Structure 1
């Protein structure tokens, strides 16, 4: 995911958090037309994590059967990248669940 998409996603999450806490201020803005929305950004992130894990698994399988000439270090680096991206996705999911719970508990 590119840096621009991460910044857009971060700003959207900030706006949602401000709305949830009732502190929407003038520095928080809703996404403009043409910018990726939250759903598409989240979907792209999940697909990127899935692809990273699939690539790492394919490299492990290829290395273990001796079908490629890559080194163990390359395989380990790809496994660590896949693990890190998965852990990041889990952390984002946990934050989204917490934000959802906070929004549902708001007094109207």
Structure 2
């Protein structure tokens, strides 16, 4: 399966606007990646994991504020943030599984 990095980046950037919760909290890990043609894989992976972490922290913060009775946070915002964090985490786990599988396949190749 071929994955085009530029189309993947464009899709992620288009989803970025949907990730920001309407409750006024913006994760600090969201930042423009820019041109990734010269970026190394470790940097991109680190940014992706940081992004997932930011989504989880935002979700947790919204849930805590809702439980404490903050009227500016709605249940729908909290549920949506939690689902986005869940989907992002599951996607990260799947990417990790594919990377481990590819590594094992490469290591089992005869030299």
TM-score by length of 2: 0.67
* CA RMSD in angstroms, aligned pairs only: 2.0
User: 1 CA distance for matches of 2:63 and 2:7?
Assistant: 30
Of 72, 79, 86 in structure 1, the residue corresponding to residue 89 of structure 2 is 86
Of 43, 48, 70 in structure 2, the residue corresponding to residue 67 of structure 1 is 70
Unaligned runs of 5+ in 2: 10-35
Paired residue for 2:31?
none
Query: Which residues in structure 2 correspond to 1:22-61 (within 5 Å)?
Result: 35-61=38-64
Q: 1:6 to 1:43 in 2, by over 3 A?
A: farther
Note if 1:104 corresponds to 2:110: no
Check whether the contact 1:46–1:89 (CA below 8 A) recurs between aligned residues: yes
Unaligned runs of 5+ in 1: 8-32
Q: 1:55 to 1:5 in 2, by over 3 A?
A: farther
Displaced runs of 4 or more, over 6 A: none
Q: How many residues align?
A: 81
Q: 1:81 to 1:89 in 2, by over 3 A?
A: same
Instruction: Compare CA radii of gyration and give the structure with the larger one.
Output: 1
Deviation at 1:5, TM superposition (A): 8.2
Check whether the contact 1:56–1:82 (CA below 8 A) recurs between aligned residues: yes
